Copies of this chain bind each other. A is one copy, B any other.
């Protein structure tokens, strides 16, 4: 666990370091080119195009599983489905190199690193787990592995934001529907090690004097917000929830459309780098700082974007007093100048940013390269919050009076709430609220932020599956839908109505022919064993591999003994495993669903008075739940 935390922190830090160097080099290049507009344009677009194309090409050439964030696949693995190639060490290299290139493309591509880090961290965990089990033997292997993966997800989040508590919570919320307190401990320990190392390295590198928050804010603590403002925070929650729904819908639609459309699907099948390069060309051309990019604050990196949005000053007040000359280089102490535009004011730039980045980010998520989608969502939410905050502060320039004293409104607090609410609504999590506090080092806005997150979540959960579930659906990974609490019918539907009754059972005294007949007629990984063919009383189960082995030994026996009567019985030749779990025909759909989730089951036999009558797999369960939602 400790090793996991430290390794991930080192990787995260090295990657950050490399990326910031590459970004600096790029902006240096931009400056050197002087006034030649064409050259500047070319250097602006060539850089991300090259990086994105390389990232796609490199990652895809090693393994196609390295694309995307990796969280949806990990979520599937944790439900008990085995996706072998997904956690190999080969994948690891592809992901690290690819992700570094993606991040180096900067805010132009508007992509982050949380998802891939969760994936990277789980790959290391799986690797460490294999190393350990080769030393200590094979006991308790499977459950340990599961624990390691959950902890790994926590480490991934915490090393990116330096936020151990919310890292653990976020991974729990996203990854599983039930979890053991014990895992939570392990995750906590590993995440703390990771976050500590990550922040420590920043100190050693003289970036900071001591350990402190990643995106430090400086709000007025003594009076963070006024009571009537909670109302606006709730409105912000509603807006974030609505935009979140729209985003999730469009994103799923576009992911599907890109696969259906003949041109893009051809490109994606054969020339992935070309597709990436085309998208990068489009996006980079729009964000060119001399044209539309000037309204998009496109010279800021992802980190600078977030820092600027969490600014404790009120932009529209500042922009009235200062001259709005844009400096030729980004001024790290006045990042907000990038947002101030004399023609369309800060409100204009923020609105333009929100509108444009909406579709640009959706487009970026279709790229088949390693990339995280959490950070952009977080930044996007912060910009929504900032817009709302600036507007509220514009309407009430002296603050809303609740007592005698007037306190000005802090738009940065709205940006914080917006970031937490929007990212929370897209991922269906609440821990983003905590993440916002841990990342900024201030917790004064706790109640309004939680309120916005709750409101935004309530809206999105009602109308859309989460970002990760959506990707699982589009990628057609095995998936068990949730039963909503208002679907009261799930208590009334019994297993009897949706189970698969076509079960091939073997009796304990089954001979070679019986086994052969059963095994060729079905693809099931396990077969039930019954006492005898008349009573059909379930006594155990047998694995397909065992049966094949049984047939093989039998065949070789037959050959050596030249077809004498060797009536080998099943119970002698195979290991019949006991059944610890079975459903009855009366079990309700709700209960069955609960047990499948709780125990990560893949399939279960159904019995009636001890006699086997059917079986239920995730497929049947899913169909039953879908029928419930859309009754015929």
Contacts and interface: CB of A to CB of B under 8 A. Distances in A.
A139 B211 CA distance: 53
Interface residues of A, number: 86
A359 interface: no
A192 B455 CA distance: 12
Given A212-B444, A446-B438, A531-B537, A580 B581 contact: yes
Contacts of A31: none
Contact of A531 (B181, B227, B443, B610): B610
A199 B224 CA distance: 14
A590 interface: yes
A451 B578 contact: no
Interface stretch (A11-19, A71-79, A429-437, A551-559): A429-437
A563 interface: no
A609 interface: yes
Contacts of A225: 210-211
Interface stretch (A170-178, A256-264, A510-518): A170-178
A137 to B, nearest CB: 9
Given A210-B226, A537-B537, A598-B598, A185 B447 contact: no
Given A165-B433, A491-B139, A585-B578, A210 B224 contact: yes
B578 A608 contact: yes
Given A192-B451, A444-B441, A582-B579, A227 B210 contact: yes
A95 B598 CA distance: 36
A364 interface: no
Interface string A607-625: 1111100000000000000
A189 interface: yes
A188 interface: yes
A488 B140 CA distance: 9
Interface string A582-599: 111111001000110011
A145 B223 CA distance: 40
A202 B227 CA distance: 12
B454 A189 contact: yes
A396 interface: no
Contacts of A213: 443-444
B447 A610 contact: no
Copies in the complex: 2
Contact of A578 (B172, B450, B599, B607): B607
A153 to B, nearest CB: 14
Given A211-B227, A488-B139, A437 B447 contact: no
Contact of A610 (B188, B402, B584, B610): B610
Contact of A580 (B173, B405, B430, B584): B584
A587 B577 CA distance: 10
A385 interface: no
A181 B466 CA distance: 14
Interface in A434-479: 434, 437-438, 441-444, 446-447, 450-451, 454
A381 B547 CA distance: 62
Contacts of A447: 164, 192, 195-196, 199, 211
Given A203-B227, A491-B139, A609-B540, A192 B443 contact: no
A164 B225 CA distance: 18
A172 to B, nearest CB: 7
A590 B139 CA distance: 11
Q: Top 6 A-B pairs ranked by shortest CB distance? A: A578-B584, A539-B610, A443-B443, A539-B609, A178-B180, A537-B537
29 contacts: A139-B491, A140-B488, A143-B594, A173-B181, A177-B182, A178-B179, A179-B179, A180-B598, A192-B451, A199-B447, A209-B402, A209-B403, A210-B223, A210-B227, A211-B225, A212-B224, A212-B444, A213-B444, A218-B221, A221-B441, A434-B434, A438-B446, A443-B443, A508-B609, A531-B535, A537-B539, A538-B610, A580-B595, A581-B582
Given A179-B179, A185-B430, A580-B582, 5 more contacts: A173-B184, A177-B181, A221-B442, A508-B609, A578-B609
